Structure 1
Amino acid sequence: MNKITSQQLRTELLNCLNDGNFHSGEALAEQFGLSRSAISNHIKALGHLGLEIFSVKGRGYQLATKIDLLSHNSICKGMQVEQASLVQVENIVSSTNDILKQQSQELSQEQSKNGMVCLAEAQTDGRGRRGRKWVSPYGASLYFSMLWQFDNGYQAMSGLSIMVGVVLNNTLAQFGVTSSRLKWPNDVYGNNKKLAGILIEVEGQADASVSAIIGIGLNLRLPNDLQGIDQAFTDLSDLLEKPFSRNELSKKLIENLWLALPVFEAQGLNPFIEDWDEADLYKNQEVVLISGDKRVKGVARGIDNSGALLLETDQKIKPYYGGEISVRPA
């Protein structure tokens, strides 16, 4: 059985288990035309994706928690046909950034469309800033990428991750999140723990049209026994008492970015700085900037119009730009 067929089968198996009931291995084997051992192997493969599936002798298999699966129809409800055609929903991918990167390379500049979106249920090779692995359990987070072309080159993108962070944070506020904060240059925090990360990858010439692939990973309902994350983290279910829909959240984020990106292209970061300042995690606090072996201590004084972090040391304020810099509380 080839890889694509296996993924399709496991998706159907997951949809079956997603009703919250127990399903015996014998019944599943008969339903899918497989042996019980083959069903068992597929259940184990789903478990490797971060899904918690109970296996009880005499009763069969049951999904521990019902999953709010992504739906293209739900996400695109009310959109124009042209807009809906920009949105693709995948099952398991290497990374959503990779999908859009490959598509942008295959299409000519005229064919590529601003606002192309890819969402997925799981990533096998999700990554964050500086090549770090982004742990991507199945159906537990928002794995999201959007393609946007900037005709005026890299200069037109200055502060892009800042703007995306503001849009993401404002989108969360529309769903009732009031405690999330923005950590320079590309993270969203909740209760001083990481809630989301942003990864911008760029293709093109410095002085010509460039394609930015905006990757967003937002923790929604992470498994209790999740391994592989080396920092404190939280998810949306911890910040919200009321239920929320992955599909509604995806739709709103897409629409908000579609609205914000043309504004950013035309006016730069200025329209978004006030919102950043209001949500700045470390503004007017002592922080340490870390770049390799170098450490600089000072007081964070917000950002400038290019998105640089303003750090005050010895009564002087100096801008620092993203790159390889990390910010930590002093």
Structure 2
Amino acid sequence: MRQASKAIRKHILALLSDGHFHSGETIAQQVGLSRTAVAGHISQLADWGLDVFKVKGKGYRLERGFPLLSADSIKRHLGNTKRAVIDVESVLPSTNTEMKKRIASKREDLENGDVVFAEIQTDGRGRHGRSWLAPVGGSLTFSMYWSFPDGYQSMAGLSLLVGLAVCDALKEFGVEDAELKWPNDIYLQGKKLAGVLIEVEGQIGATAHSVIGIGLNVCVPDNQYDVGQPHSDLASYLGTIPDRNALAAEIIKSLWSYLPKFTQQGFGPFTAYWEALDLYADKRIVLQMGEKRFSGIDRGVDASGALLVETQDGITRFHGGEVSLRGN
């Protein structure tokens, strides 16, 4: 997307986010375009998921206004915890894709803990290439950079570790009963609340550059949005919509707290904590791996983050990226 178009759409999004009507003429004057051109930009934003409607004589309005994500606001909530780049973009194909581009281009001096957020993702992804659908203003979608000098093998269990960090952050908002589904989903009241997507750049035997992608449902009413599976959101659970900037800062702080120890010691020190939050602990589960199905009892995880499944042949270990899991 050209920089001029990005700036115009960012301006329009900022205007509409208050939830009030704005006439096409007023918007056109503010962005220096014709009303026809404004209508085109708004149509594109709507195609990307912005819930906007038009009333003749009144103009454009969002179904539900929302406070925009703000890098300055997130930094204020972070305080002096750590210096890092907090970047908020209005529209990106995918925050993971954007972070991978920044790694590949080396045009920026990336530091551990740098983060990029997007209000709108036009091509968000989950595991196995599935799309990640998120209503504009109703979710947190972001990616964090973290490097592992000891290479790819030292990242074993990273997606599980990130799930723990998210659950810890949620406690600060009154969510005490979030659970984890191996290897990278956060559940609330038996339904998916958030997902983690880890991607890696780098050569074998060299420093691994990881992209930690997180998508979290903040206000995604299940009677309005079909995201392809049963889902939960924080607003329904808490009875109010939490401040997304404060929530973003809390998750970032939690990740900054967990990741240094993980980088040095691996996942081993965190196994007991993860098992305490295991959605399927000691329950019969079914795993699909390619054309094969395995059934057994979930017996937790090992120090590499592998899932331990008790079958008639004993304990079998399963590693992430190969398996989908569901209760039997």
TM range (shorter): over 0.9
Aligned to 1:55: 54
Count, aligned residues? 326
Which residue type is aligned with residue 98 of structure 1? T
Deviation of residue 50 (structure 1)?
1.6
Which residue type is aligned with residue 83 of structure 2? Q
Q: Determine the C-alpha separation between the residues in 2 that align with 1:243 and 1:101.
A: 31
Which residue type is aligned with residue 54 of structure 2? S
Aligned to 1:9: 8
Which residue type is aligned with residue 250 of structure 2? K
Deviation of residue 80 (structure 1)?
4.5
Aligned to 1:305: 303
1:83 is aligned to 2:86? no
SS of residue paired to 1:90: strand
1:259 is aligned to 2:277? no
Equivalent positions of 1:152-163 (< 5 A) are 152-163=150-161
Aligned to 1:205: 203
Equivalent positions of 1:130-149 (< 5 A) are 130-149=128-147
Task: Report if aligned partners of 1:124, 1:136 keep a CA contact under 8 Å in 2.
Answer: no
1:165 is aligned to 2:168? no
Which residue type is aligned with residue 289 of structure 1? L
Using a 3 Å threshold, how does the CA distance of structure 1 residues 97 and 288 change in structure 2: closer, same or farther?
Answer: same
Aligned to 1:174: 172
Deviation of residue 185 (structure 1)?
0.2
Question: Percent same amino acid among aligned pairs?
Answer: 46
Deviation of residue 41 (structure 1)?
2.3
Q: Determine the C-alpha separation between the residues in 1 that align with 2:251 and 2:100.
A: 20
> For structure 2, which runs of at least 5 residues remain unmatched after alignment?
none
Aligned to 1:192: 190
Using a 3 Å threshold, how does the CA distance of structure 1 residues 58 and 265 change in structure 2: closer, same or farther?
Answer: same
Which residue type is aligned with residue 172 of structure 1? L
Q: Determine the C-alpha separation between the residues in 2 that align with 1:217 and 1:243.
A: 16
Deviation of residue 108 (structure 1)?
8.6
Partner residue of 2:235 out of 237, 243, 246:
237
Q: Determine the C-alpha separation between the residues in 2 that align with 1:45 and 1:222.
A: 21
Using a 3 Å threshold, how does the CA distance of structure 1 residues 33 and 100 change in structure 2: closer, same or farther?
Answer: closer
User: Structure 1 stretch 9-18 or stretch 86-95: which is displaced more?
Assistant: 9-18
Task: Report if aligned partners of 1:50, 1:226 keep a CA contact under 8 Å in 2.
Answer: no
Q: Deviations over 1:117-160 (max 9, x none)?
A: 11111111211111111124322211111111111112211111
Q: Determine the C-alpha separation between the residues in 2 that align with 1:69 and 1:221.
A: 14
Q: Determine the C-alpha separation between the residues in 2 that align with 1:108 and 1:192.
A: 43
SS of residue paired to 1:45: helix
Q: Deviations over 1:232-270 (max 9, x none)?
A: 122221221233111111111111111111111122213
Q: Determine the C-alpha separation between the residues in 2 that align with 1:233 and 1:19.
A: 27
Which residue type is aligned with residue 7 of structure 2? Q
Task: Report if aligned partners of 1:130, 1:324 keep a CA contact under 8 Å in 2.
Answer: no
Using a 3 Å threshold, how does the CA distance of structure 1 residues 125 and 37 change in structure 2: closer, same or farther?
Answer: same
Tell me how large the CA RMSD over aligned residues is. Answer: 2.1
Deviation of residue 82 (structure 1)?
7.0
Q: Determine the C-alpha separation between the residues in 1 that align with 2:315 and 2:81.
A: 50
Q: Determine the C-alpha separation between the residues in 2 that align with 1:89 and 1:30.
A: 25
Q: Determine the C-alpha separation between the residues in 1 that align with 2:17 and 2:203.
A: 46
SS of residue paired to 1:83: coil
Deviation of residue 205 (structure 1)?
2.7
SS of residue paired to 2:317: strand
Q: Determine the C-alpha separation between the residues in 1 that align with 2:277 and 2:6.
A: 40
Task: Report if aligned partners of 1:97, 1:215 keep a CA contact under 8 Å in 2.
Answer: yes
Deviation of residue 97 (structure 1)?
1.1
Deviation of residue 100 (structure 1)?
1.5
SS of residue paired to 2:201: strand
Deviation of residue 179 (structure 1)?
2.9
1:124 is aligned to 2:101? no
User: Structure 1 stretch 265-274 or stretch 173-182: which is displaced more?
Assistant: 265-274
Q: Deviations over 1:151-205 (max 9, x none)?
A: 1112211111110111011111221112321000000112222111111111223
Q: Determine the C-alpha separation between the residues in 2 that align with 1:82 and 1:272.
A: 23
SS of residue paired to 1:233: coil
Q: Determine the C-alpha separation between the residues in 2 that align with 1:225 and 1:242.
A: 17
Deviation of residue 96 (structure 1)?
1.0
Q: Determine the C-alpha separation between the residues in 2 that align with 1:82 and 1:184.
A: 30
Using a 3 Å threshold, how does the CA distance of structure 1 residues 5 and 108 change in structure 2: closer, same or farther?
Answer: closer
Q: Determine the C-alpha separation between the residues in 2 that align with 1:221 and 1:309.
A: 31
Aligned to 1:95: 94
> For structure 1, which runs of at least 5 residues remain unmatched after alignment?
none
Deviation of residue 9 (structure 1)?
1.4
